[in-house]
Amino acid sequence: MRRLYFALALLCLLLLAISGCAAGAATSQQEASHPPTSQLQGQGAVVNKCQGRDLATSATIQSSVATRQTLYFAGSSNLYAISASNGALRWCNHVSLAQRFNCPMGASCPAPPSAIFGIPTVVDGVVYVCASGGASDVTYAFNASNGALRWSANTDCWIVDMPFGDNAAPIVSNGAVYSGTYALRARDGKKLWKVSYNVQQDGAFSLQALVHGVIYANTEDYIYAMNASNGSILWRFAPQNQMPIGGPLVVAATTVYVGTLSSVGQPDASMFYALSAENGALRWQYHMGEYTGAALANNVIYVSSRGQYLYALNLTNGALYWRHRFNGPVYNAASVVNTTLYLNGDGAYALSAQNGAILWHQLLGASQSMSFIPSTVVDGVDYLASIDGEGNSILYALNAANGQQYWHVSGFPQVSTLTVA
């Protein structure tokens, strides 16, 4: 999990600091029985406006989109708000850890490790987002119009390194913000309750849905259902053969849908499950390539797979309607708008929801080292981003009807899923 990676990174930085300090104070170390070392002091996170290279973006505009909406997204340690019309920057916040290395005099100390923003949720003019790093996990509320801070609260909204990627997207409903295992009051961040569970055994929560007063969440190995009013656990589901969850769950009416990966020892063990939303009981299952995400529409569930297929299954019994094979693994869920599926693999695709036929395909510079975030389709525009092998992103706005490009903007660090408001 990413928390472990942060710990290892801190250890590496500490070792580097010790080495640098030793070079800068060789004489005193020779005389001392215990050489001075660098120590990481303090904890917490600090948010400031972005500066310098974080603001250096390059836009190519073929035509503007007739909208006044804003795209909100995380780019590593930055939280961006840009115009959905032409990609122009509206504001940018940067989060860093308040921790500092305490080095002996004359030593060259490393900078503290960075924090990372999760996926933002925008409700009623407020951006709710998690920032995680080191020993600090904070949920923030910013004004959507200018990025000004409204409040912050210490939570355990970890940006978790699960097989299905980094989420930590808060859920906001009826005046409450659900982030990690906490429920907070939306107007001021006051704690309402906290889920009690075995974090050492089950790992970090990734909240996915709130339906009829029940919160559904993934950990790496389990599915949880919790009462939204008090955080009490209603049920927990463990996939067969202890296979890890492969992608975020989805909920429709009284059913929870989720799938798993396989393992080196059991390469054919991946499965897609339909569970009772009431008690987690298994309703049906479908053997398929490794699950990465799903989308629902018109009594059909469209399931993405690392096995290169997109499956269209009957919601009620799992019967296969059709499947479409791509040129490589499919790492994110489709977005469904009317009778069209928008899905990104080796470029951006639009498929017929009825039979999986390709309606259009834009490569957008796709290569083996490049990945794409899921599409966000709003008012006839397909917004998405590519990420190259070095973590650099290009944000695109495409005509959802034919794939033609309105504009693209480069210069962002690794972009998260987009939120349009």
The token pair that represents 217 in the structure block = 């969440």
CATH number of 2-420: 2.130.10.10
- What are the tens digits of pLDDT across the range 228-261? 999 999 999 999 877 889 989 999 989 999 999 9
Count the helix, strand and coil residues of the chain and give each as a percent rounded to the nearest 5: 10, 50, 45
- What are the tens digits of pLDDT across the range 42-88? 456 789 999 988 888 999 999 999 999 999 999 989 999 999 999 99
More confident residue, 59 or 265: 59
d(CA 267, CA 261): 9
The pLDDT, as a whole number, for residue 361 is 98
Handedness of CA 132, 212, 261, 377 (dihedral sign): negative
Distances (CA, A) of 201 to 219, 247, 261, 312, 402: 10, 19, 19, 34, 48
CB distance 58 to 411 below 8 Å: yes
Please enumerate in sequence order all residues whose Cβ is within 8 A of that of 267, keeping only pairs 6 or more positions apart, or say none: none
pLDDT at 38 over 60: no
The pLDDT, as a whole number, for residue 249 is 94
Give the closest residue to 50 by CA, choosing from 111, 93, 113, 90: 93
The pLDDT, as a whole number, for residue 39 is 40
CB distance 377 to 360 below 8 Å: no
The pLDDT, as a whole number, for residue 53 is 82
Half-sphere exposure of 325 (CA within 13 A, CB side): 4
DSSP-H helix ranges across 195-277: 199-202
d(CA 300, CA 319): 10
Please give the distance of CA 27 from its chain centroid, rounded to a whole number. Answer: 49
pLDDT at 14 over 80: no
Residue with tokens 């170390």: 29
Q: What is the mean pLDDT of the chain?
A: 86
CB distance 132 to 159 below 8 Å: yes
- What are the tens digits of pLDDT across the range 353-395? 999 999 999 999 999 889 999 999 999 999 999 999 999 999 9
- What are the tens digits of pLDDT across the range 79-133? 999 999 999 999 999 998 776 666 777 777 766 667 889 999 999 999 999 998 7
Q: What backbone torsions phi and psi does residue 54 show, to the nearest 5 degrees?
A: -65, -20
Mean pLDDT computed over 270-291: 96
The token pair that represents 387 in the structure block = 């990420």
Distances (CA, A) of 330 to 81, 256, 326, 345, 392: 28, 21, 8, 6, 20
Mean pLDDT computed over 258-274: 87
d(CA 130, CA 413): 17
Domain boundaries, the chain: 2-420
Other beta carbons less than 10 A from residue 401's beta carbon: 13
pLDDT at 27 over 80: no
The pLDDT, as a whole number, for residue 112 is 64
Q: What does the angle CA 147 – CA 374 – CA 71 come to, to the nearest 5 degrees?
A: 25
The pLDDT, as a whole number, for residue 34 is 35
- What are the tens digits of pLDDT across the range 184-231? 999 999 999 999 888 777 777 889 999 999 999 988 889 999 999 999
Please enumerate in sequence order all residues whose Cβ is within 8 A of that of 131, keeping only pairs 6 or more positions apart, or say none: 45, 47, 95, 115, 116, 117, 118, 137, 138, 139, 140
CB distance 72 to 421 below 8 Å: yes
